[in-house]
Amino acid sequence: MCNEAPGRYTTCLLPPRPYPSGVQNASANLGLDDAELARRIASAPDGSDVAAETELYRRLAPRVRLYGLKHLRDRQAASDLAQQVLLLTLERLRAGKLRDAEQLVSFVFGTCRMMVLELRRTGARRERLLELYADDVPMADPAATPRLDQARLVDCLERLPERERSVLVMTFYDDQPAREVGVALGLSEGNVRVIRHRGIERLRDCVTEGLR
Amino acid sequence: MTAPSCADPIPLATLLEYWLGELDAAREGELDGHLLGCSHCSASLQSLVDLAGGVGAAVRAGALDAVLSDAFVQRLAARGLRLRQYHVPHNGSVHCTVAPDDDLLITRLAAPLLGIERLDLERVGTGGSSDLERLCDVPFDAAAGEVVFTLPMQRIRALPETTVRIRLIAPAPSGERLVGEYTLHHRPYQSSDGH
């Protein structure tokens, strides 16, 4: 399978395969840190350590996806980024070009940065097309993340003091910095940060309490 | 499975600043690198992002009871949400309803707010009963001369024909001062053909 990544990247590599029967769950049994996993992949004959590759993919993909979400603010683009970066990383490891944790993180970080720049360029093109054809395109999926009990979260929001609730709502609806929220509510930037921090801590504790 | 611990975990306040783009480029790059190499801190960030996503989803679902601002309401409209807005004059009243395809109900209470340090909002009737609710220390922009709020759509849609009374009160050491009184005459939605 060949993946045509944006820009100059072209990878021809299979993502880690599911475990064959008899290979046990990697996270439960490998007990290795990222660097040890990298060394195992690098020292195995090309792509033969399925368990180590799968485990490394499982660990790194969510981190790269978060990086993508932070810098691209688009779930689909972040998922694409994670897949492309991880395929390139495994390819590097199989070729024996990354052997320690520092090299691994540095390669993943560098690749993320370059790919985000490329995706931003293609994203700008996509934005222009959306502006032209906005009425014909369905809105982005507004569904909440399935990791949360949404009813519980709304209940916890309702329990917050008014100021904290307003600041959290106006911050996280579309990820606005303290300065913008402060201007809208007649509060100083520092004051918004204090209220925001207190509010998110209370919200997190309340939601977590509901899971126990 | 819990994430392995980190020798130098990123504090929640810094994670917030990182996520909201409030850090300078050098610090942001530092944290990018740390987060890509640290499952503990990336798990903390993920839980923060989950909460943020949940708050956004609650707004879009019209599930919140919250005081907002004019600028925020404009952002909601720009994002394509269908807003039904009522401007209530100072000490005035309006007739109001919500239609089936409205996403949010926005109420704007005009009030002379300059010089006011703290504001409470009292209301009767939004829960379908005569219980008095008092929202303490609501945020407001005095220069805007209005208090803007939204109520959960599910609660409003369930209301029978009713009258909602709202008072804005400025608490002070010398006693409370009434800033404004408002009346909302709510009726369940009826389409133009009477349904």
Same domain, B105 and B54: no
Minimum mean pLDDT range among A4-8, A149-153, B109-113: A4-8
Q: How close does chain B come to A208, measured CA to CA in Å?
A: 10
Residue B78 forms part of a structural domain = yes
- Does the beta-carbon distance from B37 to A69 stay under 8 Å? no
Comparing alpha-carbon positions, the chain B residue that sits nearest to A64 is B36
Comparing alpha-carbon positions, the chain B residue that sits nearest to A169 is B55
Question: SS3 string of B117-137?
Answer: CCCEEEEECCCCCCCEEEECC
Total domains present in chain B: 2
Same domain, B49 and B76: no
Backbone angles phi, psi at B24, to 5 degrees: -75, 165
- Does the beta-carbon distance from B142 to A162 stay under 8 Å? no
At A30, the pLDDT band (50, 70, 90 cuts) reads low
The CA-based diameter of chain B, rounded to the nearest angstrom, is 67
Residues spanned by the domain of B83: 66-186
Mean pLDDT of the region B147-158: 94
- Does the beta-carbon distance from A187 to B139 stay under 8 Å? yes
Same domain, B77 and B46: no
Rounded to a whole number, what is the distance in angstroms from the first to the last CA of chain A? Answer: 44
Asked if A158 contacts A150 with a C-beta cutoff of 8 angstroms, the reply is: no
Which residues in chain A have their CB less than 8 angstroms from residue B116's CB?
Answer: none
ipTM (interface predicted TM): 0.91
Mean pLDDT of the region A109-137: 72
> Can you spell out the DSSP letters for A2-13?
EEE-STT-EEE-
Residue B158 forms part of a structural domain = yes
CA A52 to CA A44: how far, in whole Å? 10
Same domain, B56 and B70: no
Residue type, B104: L
At A146, the pLDDT band (50, 70, 90 cuts) reads low
Residue type, B176: E
Q: Which two tokens stand for residue A188?
A: 């100083």
Q: How close does chain A come to B93, measured CA to CA in Å?
A: 24
CA A165 to CA B125: how far, in whole Å? 22
Comparing alpha-carbon positions, the chain B residue that sits nearest to A102 is B37
Give the DSSP H/E element, type plus range, for residue B93: strand B93-96
Residue B113 forms part of a structural domain = yes
Q: How close does chain B come to A177, measured CA to CA in Å?
A: 5
∠ at Cα B122 (B118, B126), nearest 5°? 140
Backbone angles phi, psi at A163, to 5 degrees: -65, -45
Q: How close does chain B come to A69, measured CA to CA in Å?
A: 9
Asked if A187 contacts A164 with a C-beta cutoff of 8 angstroms, the reply is: no
Q: How close does chain A come to B96, measured CA to CA in Å?
A: 24
Residue A132 CB contacts under 8 Å (≥ 6 apart), including other chains:
none
Residue B45 forms part of a structural domain = yes
At A24, the pLDDT band (50, 70, 90 cuts) reads very low
Question: SS3 string of A149-194?
Answer: CHHHHHHHHHHCCHHHHHHHHHHHCCCCCHHHHHHHHCCCHHHHHH
- Does the beta-carbon distance from A157 to B55 stay under 8 Å? yes
- Residue-level pLDDT at A23: 40
Residue B194 forms part of a structural domain = no
CA B58 to CA A207: how far, in whole Å? 14
Smallest CA-to-CA distance from A67 within A9, A126, A119 is with: A119
Tell me the per-residue pLDDT of A157-200, one tens digit each, with 9 for 90 and over. 999 999 999 999 999 999 999 999 999 998 999 999 999 999 99
Q: Residue A123: is it exposed, middle or buried by C-beta count within 10 angstroms (0-12/13-18/19+)?
A: middle
- Does the beta-carbon distance from B55 to A62 stay under 8 Å? no
Same domain, B136 and B167: yes
At A209, the pLDDT band (50, 70, 90 cuts) reads confident
CA A191 to CA B195: how far, in whole Å? 48
- Does the beta-carbon distance from A173 to B76 stay under 8 Å? yes
- Beta strand pairing call for B120-124 and B162-170: antiparallel
Smallest CA-to-CA distance from B147 within B106, B178, B186, B176 is with: B106
C-alpha dihedral sign at A167, A168, A172, A175:
positive
Q: Identify which of B12, B54, B67 has the shortest CB distance to residue A145.
A: B54
Tell me the per-residue pLDDT of B57-101, one tens digit each, with 9 for 90 and over. 999 999 999 999 999 999 999 999 999 999 999 999 999 999 999
How far is the CA of A22 from the CAs of A14, A40, A45, A53, in angstroms? 21, 19, 19, 16
Q: Residue B88 belongs to a domain with what CATH number? A: 2.60.40
> Count of H helices and E strands in chain B?
5, 9
Helix (H, G, I), strand (E, B) or coil at B29: helix
- Does the beta-carbon distance from B141 to A186 stay under 8 Å? yes
Same domain, B130 and B160: yes
Same domain, B35 and B83: no
Which residues in chain B have their CB less than 8 angstroms from residue A190's CB?
Answer: none
Domains and CATH numbers, chain A: 2-135 (no CATH), 150-211 (1.10.10.10)
Residue B54 forms part of a structural domain = yes
Smallest CA-to-CA distance from B44 within B8, B72, B70, B78 is with: B8
Same domain, B74 and B152: yes
Residue type, A124: A
Same domain, B43 and B73: no
> Can you spell out the DSSP letters for B149-169?
EE--HHHHHT--SEEEEEEEE
The Cβ of residue B12 has, within 10 Å, a number of other Cβ atoms equal to 16
- Does the beta-carbon distance from A143 to B67 stay under 8 Å? no
Residue B193 forms part of a structural domain = no
